[in-house]
Every structure is written in C-alpha cells, then in structure tokens.
C-alpha cells in the first residue's frame, strides 16, 4: 500500500493504521492483538528505550495513552485496562521503539488474570498456523473506526 507512513523501530507503519496523532505521539492498531482492541501508542521520534525520551515526549506519550485508553475501553466494551511498556529485550521488547500497549480487559478473558503478560510476551513471536497476522486492510478498517472518536485525519508530517 502506497501513501504516507511512519517509522516504527525497524518497521514501516502505514498512516492508514494510525487513528490518533498528537504533536509528539501516535496511536495505532496492532498487527497481532492479544485481545480485541489491543492498540499501541508510540512517540513519533524513534527512540529505543523509555529513559531516552525527553520529558516533553514522556508527558505527551502518557497524555495520549490516557486519552486513547478511555476510548478503547469503552469502544471494545472492556471493564478494565492493561497498560504496559516492555522496555528492553529482557522485558520482552521486540520493536526497537518505545511503545505503550493498551489492552481492554474483561472478566475471565484469561484463565488467570496475569496470563495476559505471558500472552503479551509471546504474541508477536509465535509462528505457525495459529499465528495469523492481520492484513493492512484489516488494520486500516479498525483504525478508521477508532479515528472517528478523535476526529483524526493522519498524515505522516
């Protein structure tokens, strides 16, 4: 798919997958969500580790996370949220770009509540028939729905 894009660590993220943009951060849909509505928030500047962000970027990232969290929880009919950062390879980070995971949660969505962390650690490492990655079209469709909550028309500038 041609068109505007964003750098997300070692990946290129199509603007069609982005549903939120602030001055310093973007919110975008996940290629392989752990639960329905699992989205990501990332600074626009490619920074590998959380401690490398400026205070302005941290503030913007967390304001964006808070704003997006409320919408995602309501839209996907969650009753709680898991908000997580995997900061470094030993913490499970696979994309070399700071990002916050937002997962809308429901009662009994995992056998044990903390199983979400194991699922999060494995979700983008699994291969095989059960490890289906979403298409850009599927991701763009979800992003389009979420963008309406933010009156968001995204370009990569």
- What is the rounded CA–CA span in Å between residue 1 and residue 14? 8
Provide the angle, in degrees to the nearest 10, between the axes of the packed helices 55-75 and 136-150: 100
Task: Report the 10 Å Cβ neighbour count for 83.
Answer: 14
Catalytic residue among 11, 38, 75, 99: 99
Nearest to 17 by CA among 130, 123, 98, 133: 133
Query: Token match 């994309």: residue?
Result: 95
97 is catalytic: no
- What is the rounded CA–CA span in Å between residue 143 and residue 125? 23
The residues that are catalytic are 99
């Amino acid at each position: 798919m041609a068109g505007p894009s964003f750098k997300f660590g070692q990946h290129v993220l199509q603007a069609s997958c982005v549903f939120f943009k602030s001055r310093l951060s973007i919110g975008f849909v996940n290629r392989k969500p752990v639960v329905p509505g699992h989205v990501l928030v990332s600074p626009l500047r490619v920074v590998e580790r959380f401690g490398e962000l400026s205070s302005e970027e941290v503030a913007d990232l967390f304001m964006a996370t808070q704003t997006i969290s409320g919408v995602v929880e309501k839209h996907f009919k969650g009753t709680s949220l898991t908000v997580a950062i995997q900061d470094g390879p030993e913490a499970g980070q696979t994309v070399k770009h700071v990002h916050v995971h937002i997962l809308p949660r429901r009662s009994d969505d995992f056998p044990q509540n903390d199983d979400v962390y194991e699922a999060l650690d494995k979700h983008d490492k699994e291969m095989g028939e059960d490890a289906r990655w979403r298409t850009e079209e599927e991701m763009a469709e979800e992003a389009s729905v979420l963008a309406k909550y933010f009156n968001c028309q995204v370009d990569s500038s």
